[in-house]
Amino acid sequence: MNNQAAIFDQIVERRRSIRIYDENAFFDETSVTRSLERATLAPNSSNLQLWEFYRVKTKSKKDELAKYCLGQKAASTANELIVFVTRKDKWKENAKFVLGEAKKDFPEKIGKRQKLVTDYYSKLIPILYGNDIFDISGKIKKIASFGVGVFQPIAREVDANDMRVVVHKSLALAAQTFMLSMTAEGYDTCPMEGFDSKRVKSFLKLPNAAEIGMIVSVGLAKPEGLYGRRVRIPNNKIIHVI
Ligand SMILES: Cc1cc2nc3c(=O)[nH]c(=O)nc-3n(C[C@H](O)[C@H](O)[C@H](O)COP(=O)(O)O)c2cc1C
């Protein structure tokens, strides 16, 4: 194992979900700034970055949000709560931005690759993300995908609900990047899905289309905040070599 891998190994081993933080310990909030900036570098579907991260820092706001986290101590004793939000509704705006940035690097004479990138963001992405209210287009896409799929490999995840999963996958990678970064910074975290999403959404004044993926609390662990040893299903049941 090389040095970097050894350091990464330590970070992965050290990250544990912490349920009680030491509220009196010094907390360097710039560690959250750095970690959120690192989280934006997480891999994500089509590089659309359909996510937002909300930092809740002030005591009164934190207390209110902790109530919506169903009173969990992992929330009420934390120094900050970070809400990881999907923004599927921003696909058009973000696709335009990403294509605009890509075009800055295009050579004067546009080749096959540049045409593919342009078609990807201006034709395929609207087909995948553009949905009507009852997702009738999604059902048509499903049938079309099934039909074509009889003859050749094709993407099957094409309706509105499938695209929700797509954005949540990317968001989870950002949340994990954030948590590992906080561990590297010397702090602890707890990812939470135990919360009242409706109340959290109105607390953050989010539009209907936004969804809360998870809320991650941060702070310095109290020894009793670690609930027991780490339990994992044996590797031979999880890791398969084909
Ligand atoms: C998506 C997600 C949601 C979770 N929600 C909660 C939660 O609401 N409350 C909590 O105490 N732990 C929560 N956890 C933490 C898990 O219980 C924890 O990751 C698991 O038991 C493994 O322990 P470890 O993180 O210490 O390795 C959540 C973890 C994930 C990934």
How far apart are the CA of 233 and the centre of ligand 1, in A? 15
CATH number at residue 62: 3.40.109.10
Q: What is the mean pLDDT of the chain?
A: 97
Give the closest residue (by CA) to ligand 1 atom 26. 16
Residue 145 alpha carbon to ligand 1 centre in Å: 35
What ligand 1 atom has the least distance to the C-alpha of 172? 1
Q: Where are the beta strands (DSSP E) in the chain?
A: 51-56, 80-86, 188-192, 211-219
What are the pocket residues of ligand 1 if the criterion is a CB atom closer than 6 Å to any ligand atom?
16-17, 19, 72, 74, 190-194, 214, 230
Pocket of ligand 1, candidates 13, 14, 17: which has the most ligand atoms within 8 Å of its Cβ, to mutate?
17
- The pLDDT of residue 131 is 84
Q: Give the span between the Cα atoms of 184 and 105, in whole angstroms.
A: 34
pLDDT exceeds cutoff 90 at 201: yes
CA distance 77 to 160: 37
User: Phi-psi category of 71—alpha, beta or left, where left has phi over 0 and alpha has psi -120 to 50?
Assistant: left
Residue pair 52/85 in contact by the 8 Å Cβ criterion: yes
Q: How many Å lie between the centroid of ligand 1 and the Cα of residue 33?
A: 23
Quick: pLDDT tens for 46-101: 999 999 999 999 999 999 999 999 999 999 999 999 999 999 999 999 999 999 99
Ligand 1 nearest-atom number relative to CA 70: 8
**Is the predicted pLDDT of residue 113 greater than 90, yes or no?**
yes
Overall average pLDDT of the 188-205 stretch:
98
Which residue's CA is the closest to the ligand 1 atom numbered 29? 191
Residue 208 Cα to ligand 1 middle (Å): 26
26 has a pLDDT exceeding 90: yes
- Could you tell me how far CA 222 lies from the centroid of its own chain? 27
What integer pLDDT is reported at residue 133 of this predicted model?
Answer: 87
Name the percent of the chain lying above pLDDT 90: 98
Q: What is the pTM of this model?
A: 0.97
Atom number of ligand 1 nearest to Cα 19: 11
| Domain ranges, residue 64 | 1-242
Provide the 3-class DSSP secondary structure of residue 17. strand
Average pLDDT over residues 144-152: 96
**For the chain, how many structural domains are there in total?**
1
pLDDT confidence of 107, banded at 50, 70, 90?
very high
**Would the pLDDT of 33 be above 90?**
yes
